[in-house]
Structure 1
Amino acid sequence: MKKQRLATGCYYHVYNRGNNKENIFKEAENYIYFLKLWNKYIEPVAETFCYCLLPNHFHFFIRMRELQTFEVFKTSKVLTQPNQEQHFSNFFNAYSKAINKAYNRTGSLFQKGFKRKEIINESYYTSIIGYIITNPVRHGLCNSSAEYLYSAYEAILSDKTTLLLRNEVIDWFGCKEAFIDYIRAYESNLPDKYELLK
């Protein structure tokens, strides 16, 4: 089955995991480097609402940039049409090469082809944020989303500079308190036990 192409202006849940469920993050520096590469390769073509990085997989909620917005990020190269798919490919290749070199490994780090699901209605928009932010709790990595270091939770509630669409997320829920309450309610409805990425 052919993968859905990423369409300009559309919203997506983007995710993938390590090949054979292998960990893609082996230590703290890996998470930081992954986000640094995300900002380099993906931010030019997509805006990020939230994310969560777990030891063997990741989740992002994004909106593909409009063509005119993309022009702001234009480099010295002539870009007539943003190639979103190539940006993602470059991103995964850059991270994989770095991990393979650092840990003396070979072969594919990620499962072939990243997954994407289009967010097409308001209820899905709300629930995907809850799903992504609470993923560490779902997989038993922490008791509360607020405890987890490698998700967008803290950045959404912070006043520090961020590339995340923080204001849009908070405005969607009405205020920071409403966002916190929603996440807590989402956590309370999670199963008691959940194997790390079944």
Structure 2
Amino acid sequence: MAGTEHFESGFIYHIYSHANGKDLLFLEDSNYQYFLDRLLKYIGPIADIYAYCLMPNHFHLLLRFKDLMNDEISNEHQYLMKPFSNFLNSYAKAYNKKYSRKGALFLDFLKRKKVQDEKYLLKLLHYIHNNPIHHGFVSQAEKWKYSSYNSYLNTEKPSSIERREILKYFDTKEDFLGYHKSNVEYDFLDLE
């Protein structure tokens, strides 16, 4: 089941969460940018971010935890979870303050799934970047401002997204584009 796996350094994970109830996580452009700023501040030091998609009521991340150099860490999972707790709490506190809101913004449980092979990795990449199409917000992935997709299209521009690792799976930018426009079955994704 997704979300029950412990975090381990050196591995790639699909991480996602949803707003509590019918709440929205993002109400305006500045919310999306603030979320990304917090993501880089808290998660950037411990993980390479390969892809993301921020939707009004949920988000998806695809990242690889950096190898830990500290042998004194007794509980690797707790060590890697702490920045996520700080990240989401920091965003929720600022959001609640800005909108005079109280209570939990995110569901209690941060869902996560370890990526075990290349096929699963590429299908997740497709799923994450096409999420706005799947939910009917846009007709093309490049029209959604709040995902890493456009970072992959503009590789000349610097980015905090670790694009090199993902682009190794595609011979050309056209291959990358073609793959994202192809039909991919998501029934293998355990997203519950």
Global fold match (TM > 0.5): yes
Runs of 4+ residues over 6 Å off in structure 1: none
Per-residue CA distance 1:47-70 (angstroms, 9 max, x = gap): 1111100000000111011013xx
Q: In proportion to residue count, which structure has more helix?
A: 1
The Cα of 1:16 is off from its aligned counterpart by 0.4
- 1:194 maps to what in 2? none
- 2:43 maps to what in 1? 42
Structure 2 distance, partners of 1:143, 1:37, is 29
1:69-88 pair list within 5 angstroms: 80-81=72-73, 83-88=79-84
* Other structure's SS at 1:86 match: helix
Counterpart code for 2:25: I
User: Structure 2: which 5+ residue stretches go unaligned?
Assistant: 187-191
1:21-60 pair list within 5 angstroms: 21-60=22-61
User: Structure 1: which 5+ residue stretches go unaligned?
Assistant: 72-78, 191-197
Structure 2 distance, partners of 1:147, 1:27, is 16
Structure 2 distance, partners of 1:150, 1:80, is 38
Structure 2 distance, partners of 1:29, 1:142, is 20
- 2:62 maps to what in 1? 61
* Other structure's SS at 1:109 match: coil
The answer to whether the aligner puts 1:186 opposite 2:183 as a matched pair is: yes
Structure 2 distance, partners of 1:145, 1:20, is 26
RMSD between superposed Cα atoms in Å: 2.1
The answer to whether the aligner puts 1:153 opposite 2:149 as a matched pair is: yes
Count matched residues: 181
The Cα of 1:167 is off from its aligned counterpart by 1.5
- 1:75 maps to what in 2? none
The answer to whether the aligner puts 1:15 opposite 2:2 as a matched pair is: no
Counterpart code for 1:34: F
Deviates most, 43-52 or 80-89 = 80-89
Structure 1 distance, partners of 2:63, 2:97, is 29
User: What percent of counterpart residues are identical?
Assistant: 37
Q: Which has the higher contact order (CA 8 A, sep 6+)?
A: 2
Counterpart code for 2:113: K
The Cα of 1:80 is off from its aligned counterpart by 4.8
CA contact (8 A) 1:134 1:186 kept: no
